[in-house]
Amino acid sequence: MEIGSEEEKMGFEETELRLGLPGNGGSTEGEVARKRGFSETEATTMDLKLKLSSKDAGMDLNEKAKNLKKEKNLLTADPAKHHAKAQVVGWPPVRSFRKNMLAVQKGSTEESDNKASGNAAFVKVSVDGAPYLRKVDLKTYQSYQELSDALGKMFSSFTIGMKDFMNESKLMDVLNSSDYVPTYEDKVGDWMLVGDVPWEMFVDTCKRLRIMKGKEAIGLAPRAMEKCSNRS
Amino acid sequence: MNYFPDEVLEHVFDFVASHRDRNAVSLVCRLWHRVERLSRQRVFVGNCYALSPEILIARFPGLKSLTLKGKPHFADFNLVPHDWGGYVQPWIEALSNSRIGLEELRLKRMVVSDESLELLSRSLANFKSLVLVSCEGFTTVGLAAIAANCRFLRELDLQENEIDDHSGHWLSCFPDSCTSLISLNFACLKGEINLAALERLVARSPNLRSLRLNRAVPLETLQNILMRAPQLVDLGTGSYIHDPDSETYNKLKHTILKCKSIRNLSGFLEVAPRCLPAIYPICLNLTSLNLSYAAGIHGSELVKLIRRCAKLQRLWILDCIGDKGLEVVASTCKELQELRVFPSDVLGVGHAAVTENGLVAISAGCPKLHSLLYFCQQMTNAALIVVAKNCPNFIRFRLCILEPTKPDPVTMQPLDDGFGAIVQSCKHLRRLSLSGLLTDRVFLYIGMYAEQLEMLSVAFAGDSDKGMLYVLNGCKKLRKLEIRDCPYGDKALLTDVGKYETMRSLWMSSCEVTLGGCKTLAKEMPRLNVEIINEHDQMEIGSEEQRVEKMYLYRTLVGPRKDAPEFVWTL
């Protein structure tokens, strides 16, 4: 699973809530001086970086900046290599009102005629701290990274959407202090850490998603760290 | 030329209706200017920062209807930060302190507060019509004030606004004595509605012609409403879900048969396709159909519906209709003038369902087409050339290929020739949006042929400053130019600075213009406001070579605005 390289491409998000792993130094470098290539200008994005490989650790500031420039050039010069699903701010040019309406409707209409199984795999997503839950169709994503990006966008306004956090140093405090751990409930009712199994298997077995915050995640975290080091 | 008394001139001017014509009339001589301004009732202000409320009030004491636009167009796509501006409050304050008897206010992309709405409702005794499009900043509390205090309210039209819903109570605030409603549109409200109050309101509004409901209004209520208002011309359904075997649905089928006046149909924000047959009887009368929020209608149900709408002039649809569905539109809707095909998958994680084939079919089948907004997966030069030949009457042509800088997939060439064919063939083209892979050459064509072009939107296009220069030189009637992610720099910006005073505004973001270039421009053109949007403190004072991420400039009579937030620098 190419999580490392996808992270490089997506590295221009303004905020990254590294999922994690207390003690893993992944969140300290790089993000501060990020150039604003195509990142969200409105709400800050919460990038639920699924800590699935240790490749991203240790990527330094310059490298990140270079990757951003590269990504920008890629976008304008070489459409063939352009990741078909990369999110460019304000593109496609559709009013936010319309985007939001359609997103809400997708949830409810497909739910009402979700009899045809295999077409959709809707699961509830809860993020600790958010006032309400969302539903996502796992079948519309092809990888953990896509899911992570989409969830980040969905929940950004609840986590770091407040204007206070436009101040960069305050932002870093929040990033460093709260860790998000994605967990899911599987077919038999066990709560698992997201990312262990291949994506397709995950879509089949996931019944519900919960993004846990901070302290509650500690119980799972040591397991996560273990899995992480096994993965590389 | 004082051949006639003022009253005669005024009477003649009554027949001059359009804003442009009246503006032209006012420039003829001082006498005409005076007569015109004293008799002018409707004023359109395309940029609320181009002048001040005081100037407006002083010039047009007989003002009855005011249209104001606030934020730049790209604010629709999250490119403008939240607190940029566009507040209506100073306008309402000024109007309420004046002797102007304003009756109609139409706002687009402005920030409207509950306080503003309350002030409006209390101070303008004759107020009749409020139309808010893509506005924000207010809640249902403000709506309650309008409902309660505007005794002669005829129109309350809320289109795609971000409104905080505090309760459905506002509808009950229309007093029993309010019987003047002609148009009510609250489709964009997300919350619950007092259904009984709604039914009573409809029952006492014999002049109601246009009613657009929100999602919270169920089919039963729709049935009751239509029973009392069979005279409706424009209907937007709310939630259109029911058991098709139920008595309620049966009643609805019969009730709709009496609604012979319905010409515009929209809504279906939630829909059970099996209930659609109830509306089949009115389809033949429809001239306008908006299913762009009806994500629940697709496939064969959608096609079945469209086949019955032979008189459609305007169709707004989602791209799940597919190329095949567009072929049905082409063979059915021979009167079609305006088509908008929106992407159903805006998160960009799927594939758009329409391609160049759908557009070619439409162009062949609908010769009266003059306005197009088309989001598609791909486009070819060949297709655009055919479209240009089939439909030389385009006034608005907005094409959005979902993947930025995508070339013609057949030839792998840029789409310069395709768009070139469009501008060459469509001599009345006023608005154009480009997409796909484009070089400087398309701008050469635009500069050469698009003589009537007033608004141009460009993204991810061009190779050098020449592109922008071709447009600025060639398009004499250009009013609005908005550019993002193009390699245009200071040379393009500064070559013809006088041009910008002939335009309403210029937006450039993620281009190559520098702080120094913008400063130079601002210095040479004092009657322009050159605004730099400096989000997140990216820019340092003093460093002239740094790129400016977002620049918005516009002509103005009143200099730098005083309500600019910290992150907006007016140079």
Measure the CA–CA gap between B208 and B230, rounded to whole angstroms.
10
Q: Which residues of B touch A89 (CB under 8 A)?
A: 77-79
CB of B173 within 8 A of CB of B196?
no
Q: Which residues of A touch B237 (CB under 8 A)?
A: none
The residue in chain A having the minimum alpha-carbon distance to the alpha carbon of residue B161 is: A97
List all residues 6 or more positions away from A60 whose beta carbon is below 8 Å from its beta carbon. A29, A30
Give the confidence band of A222 by pLDDT, cuts at 50, 70, 90.
very low
List all residues 6 or more positions away from B13 whose beta carbon is below 8 Å from its beta carbon. B22, B25, B35, B36, B39
**Closest to B229 measured CA to CA, from B202, B195, B250:** B202
- Phi, psi torsion values for A116, nearest 5 degrees: -70, 95
Q: Hey, are the CB atoms on B270 and A109 less than 8 Å from each other?
A: yes
Q: What ipTM was reported for this prediction?
A: 0.89
Segment B248-262 shows an average pLDDT of 94
**What pLDDT, in 10s, does the model give residues B216-253?**
999 999 999 999 999 999 999 999 998 888 999 999 99
Of the candidates B79, B134, B346, which has its C-beta nearest A99's C-beta?
B346
Give the confidence band of A114 by pLDDT, cuts at 50, 70, 90.
very low
pLDDT at A163: 39
Q: Which residues of A touch B266 (CB under 8 A)?
A: none
pLDDT at B350: 52
Cα→Cα distances A26→A160, A176, B231, Å: 19, 10, 65
Residue B259 clears pLDDT 90, i.e. is over it: yes
Residue B283 clears pLDDT 80, i.e. is over it: yes
pLDDT at A157: 65
Measure the CA–CA gap between B462 and B451, rounded to whole angstroms.
20
Give the confidence band of B148 by pLDDT, cuts at 50, 70, 90.
very high
pLDDT at B2: 63
**What pLDDT, in 10s, does the model give residues A38-72?**
333 333 444 444 443 334 444 444 444 444 444 44
**What pLDDT, in 10s, does the model give residues B178-194?**
999 999 999 999 889 99
Greater pLDDT, B435 or A90:
B435
Segment A180-203 shows an average pLDDT of 81
* Terminal-to-terminal C-alpha distance of chain A: 11
Point out the least confidently predicted range of A142-146, B67-71, B270-274, B492-496.
A142-146
pLDDT at B544: 84
Of the candidates B295, B346, B460, which has its C-beta nearest A109's C-beta?
B295
Q: Hey, are the CB atoms on A96 and B77 less than 8 Å from each other?
A: yes
pLDDT at A158: 60
Q: Which residues of B touch A84 (CB under 8 A)?
A: 348, 403
Any CB–CB contact under 8 A between B535 and chain A? yes
pLDDT at A217: 54
Residue A25 clears pLDDT 90, i.e. is over it: no
Q: Which residues of A touch B298 (CB under 8 A)?
A: none
Measure the CA–CA gap between B259 and B237, rounded to whole angstroms.
14
Any CB–CB contact under 8 A between A69 and chain B? no
Residue B378 clears pLDDT 80, i.e. is over it: yes
Give the whole-number percent of chain B exceeding pLDDT 70: 97
pTM value is 0.75
Greater pLDDT, A212 or B51:
B51
Give the confidence band of A183 by pLDDT, cuts at 50, 70, 90.
confident
pLDDT at B182: 97
Point out the least confidently predicted range of A177-186, B87-96, B125-134, B282-291.
A177-186
Any CB–CB contact under 8 A between B512 and chain A? no
